[in-house]
Amino acid sequence: MSTTLEQPLAAPAQAVREQMNIVIVGHVDHGKSTLVGRLLADTGSIDPNKIAQVRAICDSQGKRFEYAFLLDALEAEQAQGITIDAARCFFQSALRDYIIIDAPGHIEFLKNMISGAARAEAAVLLIDAHEGVRENSRRHGYMLSLLGIRQIIVAVNKMDRVDYDRDVFDQVRAEYTEFLRQIDVQPAAFVPISALEGDNITDASKRTPWYDGPTVLAAVDAFAKAPPPEDQPLRMPVQDVYKFNREGDTRRIVAGRVTSGRFEVGDEVVFLPSGKRTVIESIEAFSAPTQTGARAGQATGVTMREQIYVSRGDVMCHPKTPPRVSNRLRANLVWLSRQPLRRGRTYKLKMATWSGLCEVEEIVEVIDASALDSAGHHDRVERHEVAEVVLRLRRPLACDLSHEIEETSRFVVVDGYDMAGGGIVREVLAEKADQGAVRWTAEVGAIDRTLRESKHGHRAAVVVLHDDLGENGRTLAALLEESLWQAATQVYRLNLLPDDLHKAGPGELQVRSISFGLIAGLVNTGQVVLVTVPWVDDLTHAESLRLPGIEAVPVVQVRFRAEGGEDEAEDDWVFDAARPPRAVHDAVKGRLLPLLR
């Protein structure tokens, strides 16, 4: 949940003003919300009635009015005096408009701080002059570096509590400058301020005659605006593919949000990681005029000149500026879960619209972000630790590096149902072939498969049904399951997922150990197992699913051919995709029943 304060009254119509996202971070109670509230009040970016309203609330609660309360709108925050969520407000200077994010400083809300900072182009890092550089001051500096935020100013707050002593300011600046140097961050300025009293916020203070640098407002205005995302290479992660069959509509609309770059009708594009190329035929929009182009920030849909198969997680780009593709990534990662990240464990990784399983292949180094020292262990990453890791994905991913394009280089890691960590891609490594599924070599128990087959009255078998764009495989599997069950055949239907599969060699697919064990176990119970293989990129169009160790029972492959024509090989049955489902069912059942005797 985010708290958004109202925007200032609209100015008269004029040229569109530049806008920048900045984040305020720092240790708990170092005055972040007070600084933002003071900026809002001193620049007239908040309605005076709002200030009066907050003053009245403070009076009713018996509290002293603080500028932080202009931002801390949540009742829990006012009661405890800390920022819990990442609050956003709109702020104006003479130069540009800002969306300024006040991120929580308490270590327990580090996840909220990261989610707030991830949206920022620049940062103001706050340090309490009275308390000095704290553990979270270092940790937050490292997190900003991790997120790729290089434009930073350091505001040394609460100078009123140290009588505006220059020596205190110089000591904080020297200590923190040395820390930032180790993480390759060069702050644009160190500014001595008192957010409570308004010193060096928008105007130079007479209480710091020894300081001749910029105010906070001037330093923020000096930040350089990043190039607009539409000037970057094209990236459109596919959200979904829609097909409408009414009134002869045969369009397949590939939908997604353009995260960077731009494209026009007639552009040649490639979808990665599948590598399929085509030309954009049209740009589709609901109840909108015909469009000839789209750019970063737009949610849109496109149709293609050739009907190709793409799926959620693919990235549309121009052939000359593609992202990198691999199943192995070197990444910087911050871990937020109470359960440690462990080497060898499998987690879910999400980047843009891509989602899939990943294994922690190697933990290269674990860093104590507050001290920049090695944590001394390489088998796990504990909560709030930062690590350099190598992740191995179950299937290839199209991505960029963190300094190139933001949306396709940042990811989150999910453990179970919890968002457990996040990171950025620092290097794309060479792909590694999967080690393959285990081989099923033995049956356990005195009541073996043959005894169960004898009791059932039929042999066990595996029927592999390869799906196509029309989902003929799933339709056929459902028909076969129903009719075989009605005929007193012991039958079970499984729908495999893309993550269950990997390419073992030319023309050959294998399933991973867990799914393989399930298939083998069902075979050992004497059942007919119907296994539907999904249509995924270039993975499952012509390959055969191999099940080493299950050669003792019939294993047949059923697939569909779009251009027509049928084959009657012994273990590879190919049917015309246009043939009616019931007719295909009858043909498959007629050939299957003799194998079960």
Q: Hey, where are the domains in the chain?
A: 19-221, 230-317, 324-428, 449-596
CA dist., res. 27 & res. 108, Å (int)? 11
For the structural domain made of 449-596, what CATH number should be given? 3.40.50
Judged by DSSP in three states, 400 sits in coil
CA dist., res. 290 & res. 293, Å (int)? 9
CA dist., res. 210 & res. 384, Å (int)? 39
Judged by DSSP in three states, 157 sits in strand
Per-residue pLDDT of the chain (597 residues; tens, 9 = 90+): 344 444 444 444 455 688 888 888 877 777 777 888 888 888 887 778 877 888 888 888 888 887 777 765 434 444 444 443 444 567 788 888 888 775 554 444 455 556 555 667 888 999 999 888 887 788 778 778 777 788 999 999 999 999 999 999 999 999 999 988 887 788 999 999 998 888 999 999 999 999 999 999 999 999 988 778 888 999 999 998 887 766 666 778 899 999 999 999 999 999 998 888 899 999 988 777 888 899 998 999 999 988 777 888 899 999 999 999 999 999 988 888 889 999 888 889 999 999 888 889 999 888 765 555 555 677 888 887 888 899 999 888 999 998 788 889 989 999 888 888 888 898 999 877 555 444 444 445 667 777 888 888 888 888 888 877 677 888 888 999 998 998 888 989 888 877 777 655 555 666 666 677 788 888 888 888 998 888 765 555 566 666 766 667 888 888 887 665 555 555 678 888 888 889 888 988 888 888 887
Burial label, 6 (beta-carbon count in 10 A; 0-12, 13-18, 19+): exposed
pLDDT digits (tens, 9 = 90+) for 516-538: 778 888 888 888 899 888 876 55
Q: Give, in words, the CATH class of 19-221.
A: alpha beta
Q: What are phi and psi of 507, to 5 degrees?
A: 75, 10
Helix (H) or strand (E) holding 223: none
CA dist., res. 16 & res. 18, Å (int)? 7
Give the CATH superfamily of 230-317: Translation factors (2.40.30.10)
Specify the length of the chain in residues. Answer: 597
CA dist., res. 135 & res. 130, Å (int)? 15
pLDDT digits (tens, 9 = 90+) for 493-512: 888 877 777 655 555 666 66
pLDDT for the residue numbered 7: 44
One CATH from 1.10.1060.10, 2.70.70.10, 3.30.56.10, 2.40.30.10 for 324-428 = 2.40.30.10
CA dist., res. 314 & res. 474, Å (int)? 23
**Are 19-221 and 449-596 in the same CATH fold?**
yes
For the chain, the distance separating the N- and C-terminal CA atoms, rounded to the nearest angstrom, is 62
Burial label, 567 (beta-carbon count in 10 A; 0-12, 13-18, 19+): exposed
